[in-house]
């Protein structure tokens, strides 16, 4: 049995399955570190029902040291700083654990079973509580010393400070956290308004920068803020058309796996043993 665990800034998802399919699953709010790992342990034991767990794949927000599997400290997680994720979960569930950056793991899911099949390079962007990216090159997750953090690309010399401490980055202007800080409302409550239009304008600039840097064959966008596609993609594409000139347009498509990109990617991470 393989188990995937997708730890997000808002929700934690855990599931059993394989080959792009989910067999059984659980979903609960992400809490501080000690509480969360206990809830994850209980959920994994309930889902496995005594069956041997061959390997688990764990997806976490960055920044993640790709050499050691240490989570350096996500601004969206409480108490998870400097945690050796693979060791923690291997000891917790008494099996081998493979850890990956959440957006990169979701990119793997999309490449194997979603909208990115056969595309190279394939860029995946998640727009939700924060903004993360994953890049697949030659069929493999791109790994630097740390995971790519293009959601924190700098868009000005000064400005509003992000939860990470950086000023004027993309998350500040276009993420769920950024929208809430600017408007005191949830993203779903400002869809179609001027606040939303401004966020999509900045997101288009950020995506244009990513296309210029990574030169992908396709860009796949998922995450909670893409739920209402008719309100998300048209203003984003208008911004891209306005700001991207150096190279021809790239296909921008919704996630083929929807909200399951991350958990299917985590199961795939466990299957392939990355």
pLDDT reported for residue 76: 74
Domain ranges of the chain: 2-102+260-272, 115-255
Structure tokens, 1: 């049995």
Region for 50 from its dihedrals, namely left if φ exceeds 0, alpha if ψ lies in -120 to 50, beta otherwise: left
Rounded CA gap, 9 and 61, in Å?
8
The C-alpha angle 66, 89, 22, rounded to 5 degrees, equals 90
pLDDT reported for residue 8: 87
Total Cβ atoms within 10 A of residue 134: 32
Rounded CA gap, 205 and 177, in Å?
18
Rounded CA gap, 29 and 91, in Å?
22
Rounded CA gap, 188 and 196, in Å?
9
Contact between 133 and 103 under an 8 Å Cβ cutoff? The reply is yes
Let me know if the fold of 2-102+260-272 is the same as that of 115-255.
yes
pLDDT reported for residue 239: 98
The CATH code for residues 115-255 is 3.30.420.40
CATH architecture of the domain with residue range 2-102+260-272: 2-Layer Sandwich (3.30)
- In tens digits, what is the pLDDT along the chain, a chain of 274 residues? 999 999 988 899 999 999 999 999 999 999 999 999 999 999 999 999 989 999 999 999 989 999 888 999 887 788 898 999 999 999 999 999 999 999 999 999 999 999 999 999 999 999 998 999 999 999 999 999 999 999 999 999 999 999 889 999 999 999 999 999 999 999 999 999 999 999 999 999 999 999 999 999 999 999 999 999 999 999 999 999 999 999 998 999 999 999 999 999 999 999 999 8
């Amino acid at each position: 049995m393989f188990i995937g665990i997708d730890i997000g800034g808002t929700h934690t998802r855990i599931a059993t399955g394989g080959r792009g399919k989910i067999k059984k699953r659980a979903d609960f709010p992400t809490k501080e570190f000690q509480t969360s790992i206990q809830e994850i342990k209980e959920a994994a034991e309930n889902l496995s029902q005594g069956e041997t767990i061959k390997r688990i794949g764990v997806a976490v927000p960055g920044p993640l040291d790709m050499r050691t599997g240490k989570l350096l400290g996500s601004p969206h997680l409480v108490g998870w700083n400097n945690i050796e994720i693979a060791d923690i979960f291997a000891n917790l569930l008494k099996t081998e654990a493979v850890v990956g950056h959440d957006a990169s793991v979701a990119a793997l899911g999309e490449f194997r079973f979603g909208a990115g099949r056969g595309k190279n390079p394939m860029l995946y962007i998640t727009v939700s509580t924060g903004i993360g990216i994953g890049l697949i090159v030659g069929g493999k997750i791109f790994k630097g010393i740390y995971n790519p953090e293009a959601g924190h690309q700098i868009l000005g010399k000064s400005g509003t400070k992000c939860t990470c401490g950086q000023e004027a980055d993309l998350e500040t202007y276009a993420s769920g956290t950024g929208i809430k800080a600017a408007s005191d409302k949830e993203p779903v409550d400002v869809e179609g308004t001027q606040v939303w239009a401004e966020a999509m304008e900045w997101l288009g600039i950020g995506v244009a920068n990513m296309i210029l840097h990574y030169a992908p064959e396709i860009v796949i966008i998922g995450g909670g803020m893409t739920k209402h596609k008719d309100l998300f993609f048209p203003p984003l594409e208008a911004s891209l058309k306005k700001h991207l000139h150096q190279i021809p347009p790239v296909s921008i498509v919704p996630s083929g796996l929807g909200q399951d990109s991350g958990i299917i990617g985590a199961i795939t991470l466990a299957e392939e043993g990355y």
